[in-house]
């Protein structure tokens, strides 16, 4: 799906690229700029649904405010961290190295643990975990950003307990 991005630069710098050999038909920044200046619209069919999603995301951000969003994410991370500890999960990184919005969790070394089953059970309950991509380290990732709050994270851990129980894995791990 086509996307949308912001480019912040001096117009004079974009104009300097006018005669550069084009390496891409769609991703030619100068051509996009020139067309927009001359016609007041995008050069190609705009990604309408992406633009609507961006508009909604900006609306929600400005309603909550930067400080409010930061505090909610910080709060979400504290609840996530507590829930991980209560279940016995271990984070890949030390807390001081974490972004507090995406957490990589080391998979349990229990013989009954199955990532696909864990994923599918959580997905049925409305939660998505992402497979880790850290070399040979078996892990999964959980985000605590977006339109979620502490109640959502608590519900995630209820679903985690159920998934682990279905795999006959006792908690804490």
The pLDDT tens digits for 89-107 are: 999 999 889 988 999 999 9
Backbone torsions φ then ψ of 76, nearest 5 degrees = -60, -40
Distance of CA 96 to the CA centre of its chain: 20
In the CATH scheme, what is the code of domain 66-166? 3.90.1150.10
pTM for the structure as a whole: 0.78
Q: Where are the domains of the chain?
A: 66-166
The pLDDT tens digits for 12-39 are: 999 999 999 988 888 899 999 999 999 9
């Amino acid at each position: 799906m086509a996307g949308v991005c912001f480019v912040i630069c001096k117009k004079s710098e974009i104009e300097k690229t006018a005669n550069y050999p084009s390496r891409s038909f769609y991703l030619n920044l100068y051509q996009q700029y020139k067309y927009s200046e001359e016609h007041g619209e995008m050069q190609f069919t705009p990604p309408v649904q992406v633009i609507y999603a961006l508009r909604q995301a900006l609306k929600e951000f400005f309603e909550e405010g930067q400080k409010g969003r930061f505090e909610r994410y910080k709060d979400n991370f504290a609840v996530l961290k507590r829930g991980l500890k209560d279940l016995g999960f271990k984070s890949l990184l030390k807390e001081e190295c974490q972004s507090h919005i995406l957490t990589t969790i080391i998979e349990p070394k229990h013989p009954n643990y199955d990532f696909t089953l864990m994923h599918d059970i959580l997905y049925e309950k409305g939660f998505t975990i992402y497979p880790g991509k850290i070399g040979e380290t078996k892990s999964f990732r959980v985000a605590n950003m977006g339109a979620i709050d502490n109640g959502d994270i608590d519900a995630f851990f209820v679903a985690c307990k159920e998934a682990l129980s279905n795999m006959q894995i006792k908690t804490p791990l």
